[in-house]
Amino acid sequence: MAQSNGVVNAYLVAYNAASFVGWAYVLAQTVLYLLENGTDLSGLFSAIGLPLIYVQTGAALEVLHSLVGLVRSSPMTVLMQVYSRLLLVWGTLYVFDYPEIRASPALVLMVLAWSITECVRYSHYALSLMGIEVYALLYLRYTMFYVLYPAGVSGELLEMWAALPHAAAIRPAFKGFLLLNMINYPPVLYKLYTHMMRQRRKVLGGETAKSKAKGGETAPSDAASRKKKL
C-alpha cells in the first residue's frame, strides 16, 4: 500500500509540475507578445494557440483524478471548471479563425486570467505534494480568484458572444448551444465563486488551527498530501 501511495504521489507531482510548465509557457509567450506588439493582436493566436489548447485539454485528466479518488475534489465541481474551458478552446478558438475571436482583447483577458491562476495553483500543489509549503502561493491560490474569476469569465463570455454569428452560419443549433452555455454562466460562476470563498475561509481562516487546539484531526501532510483538493 505504501508503495502504491508513493507511485500515485509521484504521478500527481509530475502532472502538476508539467501543467505548471505548460501554463508558465503560455503566460510568458502572451506577455512577450504584448510587450513586442502592443495592441496589435493579429498574431497572438499563432503565438499561443496550440500550447493553450494542449495544456488546457490536459486538465481533463483532473476529472478522472477526482472520479477515481486520487484527489478529494468533487467530480462535479472539477467538471464544471474544465468543461467551460474546453468549450472555449475547442468549440470557439479552434473552430473560428476570425480576428474578433483570435485577435481580441477578450482573448488576452481570458488567457492572462487562466494562466496566472493555473501557474499559482499547479506550483502550489506540486510543492505541497513534495512536502514543501510556501505560504505566499497558498495565500495567492485562495485570494486571487476574487479578481481573476470575474476577469476570466468576462473574457470567456465575450469570446463566445463574438462567435455567435459564425456559429449560426455553420448551424443554428450551434449558436443555440453557445447561447445556452452563456446563460448557464451566472449560476455556475456563483457556485464556483462561493466554493472558493468557503475554501478560503477553511484554509486561511484558522479552522485547521482551531481543530488542532481542540485535539481534532490535523490537516493531511506528506504521503497523505495527494488528497489535497485540486
What tens digit of pLDDT does each residue of 69-107 get? Answer: 898 888 888 898 899 999 999 999 999 999 999 999 999
The arithmetic mean of pLDDT across residues 215-219, rounded, is: 33
What tens digit of pLDDT does each residue of 42-67 get? Answer: 999 999 999 999 999 999 999 999 99
Closest among 92, 119, 108, 111 to 22, alpha carbons compared: 119
The arithmetic mean of pLDDT across residues 176-195, rounded, is: 92
Closest among 204, 181, 212 to 83, alpha carbons compared: 181
Indicate whether 169 pLDDT > 50. yes
Active site residue 159: no
In the set 11, 149, 185, 193, the catalytic residue is 149
The phi, psi pair for 228, rounded to 5°, reads: -60, 150
- Report d(CA 224, CA 202) in Å as an integer: 18
In the set 33, 62, 125, 156, the catalytic residue is 156
Q: Look at residue 206 in the predicted model and tell me its pLDDT.
A: 55
Q: Please answer whether residues 159 and 49 qualify as being in contact, where contact means their C-beta atoms are separated by less than 8 angstroms.
A: no
What tens digit of pLDDT does each residue of 109-162 get? Answer: 999 999 999 999 999 999 999 999 999 999 999 999 999 999 999 999 999 999
Can you give the C-alpha Rg of the chain in angstroms?
19
Please give the angle made by the CA atoms of 96, 56 and 19, to the nearest 5 degrees: 150
